Structure 1
Amino acid sequence: MTQLHDLRLRLLVQQESEQIAKSQKSDLDLSIVQARCLCWLALLAEAHEDQACEAEGKGDTEQAMGWFADSMRLRDVIQVVTSIEIPIPESTEDSEEL
């Protein structure tokens, strides 16, 4: 089951990176990449928390602790990604006014 989960995660990451590459052909906007990463990380953390609750409900405390620990690691990563300050590119209107 863990292998299947890992494969699904890799596929999702690959699909998302392809979508970013297609939508940002000429100029990569890092703020968009950051926002998408935060969305995916939040979804993954939520899924891990759900898995932890499900395992706890089944009485599998060890598995529940593992899923919960993973969700906490994801929350830590979310904090790191959120704290990265990406400069917002100036719009063409703003640069024309100067």
Structure 2
Amino acid sequence: MITTKQRAYLRSLANGITPIFQLGKNGIEEAFLRQIEEALEARELIKITVLENSGFETREASDFICEKIGCEGVQSIGSKIVLYKKSEKKPKIELPQGNK
């Protein structure tokens, strides 16, 4: 679980990136989840656009993806989802320390 401070930091980083995936009429399939996992391993922070014909609301798509691949839903606003998962091989993003 990431803290509120870490989530805000990740949102600020995601502000400048463009979506690399679109969730469309095929919905969330195994191949789509595998691609997201690979992208998260390479980039750690990705943005996805949820199209209206996907059959998913933005928040439910984010929750479903996070549950399946174990990533963090940073933000879901409008038709965009921002996901984060720390890379196991080459971590790039240094999160601020949370208050615990």
TM range (shorter): under 0.3
Higher share in helix: 1
Higher share in strand: 2
Q: Which has the higher contact order (CA 8 A, sep 6+)?
A: 2
Higher Rg: 1
TM-score (norm 1): 0.27
TM-score (norm 2): 0.27
